[in-house]
A = this chain, B = another copy of it.
Amino acid sequence: MLTIFSDESFMKEALREAFNAAESDEVPVGAVIVSKNRIIARAHNMTERLNDVTAHAEMLAITAAANHLGGKYLEGCTLFVTLEPCPMCAGALHHAHIERIVWAADDEKRGFSRFGNSLLHPKTTITKGVLADEAKKMLLDFFQKKRE
């Protein structure tokens, strides 16, 4: 079994990024971008540290992946992210022509799919629910600690 290249193994790396976010007192969302079974970008939410609402994990990962590839289109790439992207990030993923998006936990409030799948490029494919429980637990623990 090639579990080394499984969706779960890459999502674990995204969860590791989310954990780093929580350690920095950021809402724990992490992302990695994979091209040809290699991680070419990894990022976590940095909206607090950068004081910038645009600094979601996905946005930072898109910018980093484009830098790595030397071109702004992420064709053939897969984004693994621990929470369903918001409309801002879905719009950016549309512009980037990403091939596939895999997310863990659904975002019932601000997930892009509440606005219809047309926010994404028609060719982009989606897999959801990969390690969703782990991602949800990290978010719930974070917000519970905040309230204490």
Contact = CB atoms under 8 A, between A and B. Distances in A.
Interface in A114-145: 115-116, 118-119
Contacts of A51: 66-67, 70-72
Copies of this chain, how many? 2
Chain A's interface: helix, strand, loop or mixed, by majority? Answer: helix
Given A87-B91, A115-B115, A52 B47 contact: no
A95 B54 CA distance: 8
Max chain B C-beta neighbours (<10 A), residue from A51, A70, A96, A116: A51
A94 interface: yes
Interface of A: 47, 51-54, 59, 62-63, 66-67, 70-73, 86-92, 94-96, 115-116, 118-119
